[in-house]
Structure 1
Amino acid sequence: MTRHDPILQAVADTPVTPDQSARDPAHPPFILIAIAALATAVGVIALLGRTIAGGARFAFDTNLMLAMREGRNPAIPDGPVWFKQAMVDITALGGGTVLTLAVVLTVGLLVASRHLLTAALVVAGTITGSVAVGLAKLVVGRERPALVDHLVEVGSASFPSGHAANSAIVYLTIALLGIQVMARRSARMFLIGVTLALVAAIGVSRIYLGVHWPSDVLAGWSFGALWALAWWAGAGWLRLHLADRATRAPTAR
Structure 2
Amino acid sequence: MRRRPALLPVRPAGWWFDALLLAAFAALTVALARGAFLGADVAVADWMDAHRPAPLYWVARVLNYLGQGGQVLMPVALLLTVAVGLRRRSVRPALVFAAAFALTYVTVGPLKLVFDRAAPASARPDRAELLNDLPPTEWDLSYPSGHVANALVWYAAIAILASALLRSLDRPPLSRAAYLALRAVPPAVVFCTTVYLSWHWLSDSVAGLLIGWPLARLLTRVPFDALPLPGLRDGWDRPAGLS
Alignment TM class, shorter chain as reference? 0.5 to 0.7
Q: Secondary structure at the match of 2:67?
A: coil
Aligned equivalent of 1:109, options 55, 80, 83: 83
Match status 1:61 vs 2:34:
no
Match status 1:98 vs 2:67:
no
1:124 equivalent in structure 2: 99
Distance 2:47 2:181 in 1: 27
TM-superposed deviation, 1:188: 4.1
Question: CA 1:55–1:29 in structure 2 vs 1: closer, same or farther (change >3 Å)?
Answer: closer
2:111 equivalent in structure 1: 136
TM-superposed deviation, 1:84: 0.9
Question: Structure 2 length as normaliser, TM-score?
Answer: 0.67
Question: CA 1:141–1:103 in structure 2 vs 1: closer, same or farther (change >3 Å)?
Answer: same
Asked whether the equivalents of residues 161 and 212 of structure 1 are also in contact (C-alpha less than 8 Å), the reply is: yes
Q: Secondary structure at the match of 2:120?
A: coil
Distance 1:28 1:53 in 2: 35
2:62 equivalent in structure 1: 89
Aligned equivalent of 2:27, options 30, 47, 52: 47
TM-superposed deviation, 1:173: 3.0
Asked whether the equivalents of residues 176 and 229 of structure 1 are also in contact (C-alpha less than 8 Å), the reply is: no
Distance 1:233 1:37 in 2: 14
Distance 1:203 1:92 in 2: 12
Q: Which has the higher helix share?
A: 1
1:225 equivalent in structure 2: 213
Question: Structure 1 length as normaliser, TM-score?
Answer: 0.65
Asked whether the equivalents of residues 22 and 214 of structure 2 are also in contact (C-alpha less than 8 Å), the reply is: no
Match status 1:164 vs 2:152:
no
2:130 equivalent in structure 1: none
2:200 equivalent in structure 1: 212
Aligned equivalent of 1:78, options 29, 52, 56: 52
Give identity over the alignment, percent.
25
Distance 2:174 2:73 in 1: 25
1:200 equivalent in structure 2: 188
Bigger mean CA deviation after superposition, 161-170 or 91-100: 91-100
Asked whether the equivalents of residues 155 and 182 of structure 2 are also in contact (C-alpha less than 8 Å), the reply is: no
Aligned equivalent of 2:177, options 184, 189, 210: 189
Alignment gaps of 5+ in structure 1: 1-24, 243-253
Distance 2:163 2:17 in 1: 19
Distance 2:118 2:23 in 1: 21
Distance 1:102 1:156 in 2: 28
Question: CA 1:185–1:213 in structure 2 vs 1: closer, same or farther (change >3 Å)?
Answer: same
Deviations 1:140-171 (A, max 9, x none): 112222589xxxx9834211011111111111
Deviations 1:191-249 (A, max 9, x none): 431342111111211111112111110111222122111111233xx65677xxxxxxx
